[in-house]
Amino acid sequence: MEFGVVLPSFGAPARGDGVAERLRTVAQAADRLGYHVVWTSEHLIFPGTVTTPYPYGGKFPYDVDDPILDVATTLAWVAASTTHVKLASTVIVLPYHQPVPLAKALATVDVLSGGRLLVGVASGWLAEEFALLGVPFAERGARFEEYLTVLRALWTEDRVTFRGRFVQLEDAAFFPKPVQRPHPPLWIGGSSTTALRRVGRLGDGWLAVPKPSVDALAADIAVIRRAAEEAGRDPACIGVASSGGATSLDALVERLPALERIGVTIVTLPALYWTKTIPDALAMMADFARRAGLERRG
């Protein structure tokens, strides 16, 4: 089991002066304390008012005026300040992006970081954001799967010929390739049955949305594993990232054995959600590292 922490790259922690130093401080603390992953997130543009229901329960967690830093740029910045920790997105909304420049930006991060990139992607849910970007909301699933295939082709083939619905490439040369072979891990987010089955068919891991209980999380993992078996894949090779629905540090520590038992491979500490300041978040990171035994787990 590995452990991750959220970077201050979006929402209130990214507002105002000093965001670069806050990013560096949290990322370097994660590196020093033995965390394995740091996470950032993505929205590209917001409508003045969000009317699409938030699919993961409760109220949409951002104000539309909150800053959200670009994923690849942020991870490149963090890469220069760290040595060991993996650099991860949760999630890039894949249908928003033309896949060639996205593949280039992410491959560059992997090269510059020495192979530390973990790419989390999803199909998206905010209909107004799709409209602002000129991407048909109804096509998000089809675009997601095609773009995922294009990313893999660009990262693994010397000459790429691809004839899809949205992307046409003929004998295209794409370099540099990522350091990681065959390519950086591609983890998929989402909570619908379609998304879970997509993880089983196509993903290297699942970025779980908050669940009310460990049992509910286990039920979704079972859906992924069945889909993997049906696709002829080894379910044990598919990772799972989750905090198991915990809402406090004590609850998260208590749930670690159960999360490991059901197949969670990365436990994320949402310290910036559970505290109000960067110093408090750093203190929580240190406390969790000690109680979870990060040094012993390696």
Peptide bond into 121 cis (omega under 30): no
| Coil vs helix vs strand at 123 | coil
Helices (H), 124-192: 127-133, 140-156
Please give the CATH superfamily to which domain 2-297 belongs: Luciferase-like domain (3.20.20.30)
Kindly provide the residue ranges of all beta strands, DSSP E only, lying in the chain, ordered along the sequence: 2-6, 37-40, 86-89, 92-93, 117-122, 159-163, 168-173, 186-189, 205-207, 239-242, 266-269
pLDDT at position 61: 81
Average model confidence (pLDDT) across the chain: 95
pLDDT confidence of 62, banded at 50, 70, 90? confident
pLDDT at position 297: 54
**Cβ neighbours of residue 99 closer than 8 Å, sequence gap 6 or more:** 147, 150, 151, 154, 167
pLDDT confidence of 211, banded at 50, 70, 90? confident
pLDDT at position 60: 84
pLDDT confidence of 296, banded at 50, 70, 90? low
Nearest 5°: the CA angle 30, 268, 256 is 110
- Among the residue ranges 40-49, 60-69, 220-229, the one predicted with the least confidence is 60-69
User: For the residues 178-182, what does the mean pLDDT come to?
Assistant: 97
pTM over 0.85? The answer is yes
User: For the residues 130-140, what does the mean pLDDT come to?
Assistant: 98
pLDDT at position 12: 87
Chain-centroid distance, C-alpha 61 = 17
- Partners of 162 in the beta sheet? 169
pLDDT at position 57: 76
d(CA 228, CA 245): 24
216: pLDDT strictly greater than 70: yes
pLDDT confidence of 134, banded at 50, 70, 90? very high
Cβ burial of 41 (10 Å; 0-12, 13-18, 19+) is buried
Q: Write down the residue that tokens 């909150």 correspond to.
A: 66
The structural domains of the chain, with segments of one domain joined by +, span: 2-297
- Among the residue ranges 93-97, 257-261, 282-286, 293-297, the one predicted with the least confidence is 293-297
